[in-house]
Amino acid sequence: MSPMTPVQPLPREALTPDAYRQLEHAASLKGLLKPFKGKGELEHLAQMAREIEAQLCHLMEAVVQQAGQPPYSLLNIRLVLQNTSAGSTFLRWRTRDFARMGVAVWERQISNQALPQIVREGLHRFECERIALNLQMSVVHSLYRQASTCAIKMASAERLLRQLTTAVEVSG
């Protein structure tokens, strides 16, 4: 992109307070900070975390779509969704040819002196949104994994108690 290329900033639409409103309601920690009475409550917590992950993924897709529009689509970098082996999704910067990935790709692009300031500011906004969404996804996915694991452990403890109770009743 040459310094003489006219640049129109993209409207900031992807991560408005309205986009987060539904997530704020679903992600209340009230349901986490209480005594759990059985595996069912933990399974419900895990299910809620999965639903929040899906909503975060939609927000990520909106940011990727915005970052894929001109003038950003004319640059040598792309913001992409990357699915992990752990089952979550994160936003990553990649070069157009997919040869390099990571923050260094973004740093190299934003440091380009020929880049108009308005484009630099847009790239900065995308990077801040990427950082925040990745944090949120990481926390929610960790909550999902922990709740699922604890539900399995609680089910195992409940099974053992039933077995011991049955064995005592049979022998008594």
CA dist 151 and 63 (Å) reads: 34
Whether 21 is in a domain gets the answer: no
Whether 48 is in a domain gets the answer: yes
Whether 129 is in a domain gets the answer: yes
- Is residue 160 over pLDDT 50? yes
What confidence score (pLDDT) does residue 89 get? 96
Mean pLDDT of the chain: 86
User: Total domain count for the chain?
Assistant: 1
Position 172 confidence tier, pLDDT thresholds 50, 70, 90 = low
Whether 44 is in a domain gets the answer: yes
Range of the domain at 44: 38-171
Whether 161 is in a domain gets the answer: yes
Whether 25 is in a domain gets the answer: no
Using alpha carbons, list the distances in angstroms from residue 168 to 5, 83, 163. 82, 49, 9
For 41-73, what is each residue's pLDDT tens digit? 999 999 999 999 999 999 999 999 999 999 999
Whether 13 is in a domain gets the answer: no
Q: Of how many residues is the chain composed? A: 172
Whether 29 is in a domain gets the answer: no
What confidence score (pLDDT) does residue 37 get? 85
What confidence score (pLDDT) does residue 151 get? 95
CA dist 138 and 144 (Å) reads: 10
CA dist 21 and 56 (Å) reads: 12
User: Picking from 2-6, 33-37, 104-108, which range would have the lowest pLDDT averaged per residue?
Assistant: 2-6
